[in-house]
């Protein structure tokens, strides 16, 4: 029997998200492991890691909103837009009040178009942007439409701006730092970043890898890991009898309850076993199994 569940990891600085997945594999012995959204090596904080059947929910959690604590350093521009990069420009920081800074943040709130950094993992023309950047090239990047729900100024200790950011999938906090520096005319880079939340998971639920290694030998798995459906508890649930559960596992559509086009659901047996995830087909008036979990 493999291990199934979600571990909320507090990623430490210096680790890649891939490093974290590899370490979780070694600690738990479970081979089927994946994370739900990359954090840059210098960043810390919430990285949900899914094991076993929980890997079926990764694609849904990758689209979840996120919350960050960020420190933006004004006056220094780097080629990566963060502290890991090479300094390419330095400028004097103008005298700024907290009120002036807050006004400068206004254009970054709400629905905005954001140009990704050159050092990013997204692809353009079949190549990752950071591969292009490392080859010494710069290309035009089409802006991406994102949403910044909250952009709060927590503090201003020159030259450091401290921010709380609640944002949609696809937001680059480094790009906010870059663009804020450009707007102020002095340049800037991201000095520190910590993810406080991914979807329904918060930093106070998280374990460091060191703590996980200790807890894994002492704590029963159901107490250590969250159930795979914990990320999707806002989805409606359908409960299937024995015949319905068998049909579900055979990939057959089921006319149980109702839904709207594109709605998702969680499916369970009458014994409480999680059977997977489904999508409602409004044309056929039925739920279609999208992710099936073997009983």
Q: Quick one: 91 and 138 in the same domain?
A: yes
Q: What percent of the chain has pLDDT over 90?
A: 73
In angstroms, the CA 49 to CA 181 distance is 34
Looking up residue 287, the CATH number of its domain turns out to be 2.30.130.10
Indicate the pLDDT class of residue 139, thresholds 50, 70 and 90.
confident
Q: Quick one: 260 and 283 in the same domain?
A: yes
Q: Quick one: 244 and 135 in the same domain?
A: no
Q: Are 212 and 221 in contact (CB under 8 A)?
A: no
Q: Quick one: 123 and 224 in the same domain?
A: no
- Please report the pLDDT score of residue 262 as a whole number: 65
If you search the block for the tokens 């006319």, which residue do you land on?
255
Verify cis geometry, omega within 30 degrees of 0, for the bond prior to 64.
no
- Please report the pLDDT score of residue 114 as a whole number: 95
Does the pLDDT of residue 44 top 70, yes or no?
yes
Q: Is the dihedral of CA 39, 128, 149, 201 positive or negative?
A: negative
- Please report the pLDDT score of residue 284 as a whole number: 82
Q: Quick one: 121 and 9 in the same domain?
A: no
In angstroms, the CA 43 to CA 53 distance is 28
Does the pLDDT of residue 43 top 90, yes or no?
yes
What is the average pLDDT across 81-100?
A: 95
Q: Quick one: 128 and 165 in the same domain?
A: yes
Q: Quick one: 26 and 53 in the same domain?
A: yes
Token pair recorded at residue 128: 């990752």
Does the pLDDT of residue 112 top 90, yes or no?
yes
- Please report the pLDDT score of residue 97 as a whole number: 96
- Please report the pLDDT score of residue 25 as a whole number: 97
Q: Quick one: 144 and 256 in the same domain?
A: no
Q: Quick one: 219 and 262 in the same domain?
A: no
What is the average pLDDT across 68-86?
A: 95
Q: Are 167 and 68 in contact (CB under 8 A)?
A: yes
**Domain total for the chain?**
3
3-state secondary structure the chain: CCCCEEEEEEECCCCCHHHHHHHHHHHHCCCCEEECCCCCCCCEEEEEEEEHHHHHHHHHHCCCCEEEEEEEEECEEECCCECCCCEEEECCCCCCCHHHHHHHHHHHCEEEEECCCCCCCCEECCEEHHHHHHCCCCCCCCCEEEEEEEEEEEEEECCEEEEEEEECCCCCHHHHHHHHHHHHCCCEEEEEEEEEEECCEEHHHCECHHHHHHHHHHCCHHHHCECHHHHHCCCCEEEECHHHHHHHHCCCCECCCCCCCCCEEEEEECCCCEEEEEEEECCCCEEEEEEECCC
pLDDT tens digit string along 211-256?
999 999 999 999 999 999 999 998 989 899 999 999 999 999 888 7
Residues with active-site annotation:
40
Q: Residue 217 contacts by C-beta under 8 Å, 6 or more apart in sequence? A: none
Indicate the pLDDT class of residue 47, thresholds 50, 70 and 90.
very high
Total Cβ atoms within 10 A of residue 283: 7
Domain enclosing residue 256, as ranges: 235-292
Looking up residue 28, the CATH number of its domain turns out to be 3.30.2350.10
Q: Quick one: 56 and 80 in the same domain?
A: no
- Please report the pLDDT score of residue 156 as a whole number: 97
């Amino acid at each position: 029997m493999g291990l199934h569940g979600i571990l909320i990891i507090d990623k430490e600085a210096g680790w890649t998200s891939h490093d974290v997945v590899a370490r979780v594999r070694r600690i738990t012995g479970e081979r089927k492991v994946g994370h739900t959204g990359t954090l840059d090596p210098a960043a810390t904080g919430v990285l949900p890691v899914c094991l076993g059947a929980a890997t079926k929910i990764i694609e849904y959690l990758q689209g979840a909103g996120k919350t960050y604590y960020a420190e933006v350093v004004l006056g220094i521009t780097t080629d990566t837009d963060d502290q890991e990069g090479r300094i390419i420009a330095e400028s004097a920081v103008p005298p700024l009040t907290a009120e002036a800074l807050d006004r400068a943040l206004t254009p970054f709130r709400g629905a905005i178009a954001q140009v990704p950094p050159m050092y990013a993992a997204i692809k353009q023309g079949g190549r990752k942007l950071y591969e292009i950047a490392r080859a010494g090239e710069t290309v035009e990047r089409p802006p991406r439409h994102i949403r910044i729900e909250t952009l709060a100024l927590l503090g201003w200790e020159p030259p450091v701006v401290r921010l709380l950011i609640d944002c949609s999938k696809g937001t680059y906090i480094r790009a906010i730092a870059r663009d804020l520096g450009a707007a102020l005319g002095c340049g800037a880079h991201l000095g520190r970043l910590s993810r406080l939340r991914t979807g329904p998971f918060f930093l106070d639920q998280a374990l460091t890898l060191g703590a996980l290694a200790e807890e894994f030998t002492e704590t029963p798995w159901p107490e250590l890991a969250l159930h795979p459906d914990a990320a999707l508890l806002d989805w409606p649930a359908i409960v299937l009898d024995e015949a319905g559960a068998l049909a579900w596992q055979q990939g057959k559509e089921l006319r149980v309850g109702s839904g709207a086009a594109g709605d998702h659901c969680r499916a369970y047996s009458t014994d409480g076993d999680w059977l997977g995830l489904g999508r409602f087909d409004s044309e056929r008036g039925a739920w279609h199994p999208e992710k099936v979990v073997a009983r």
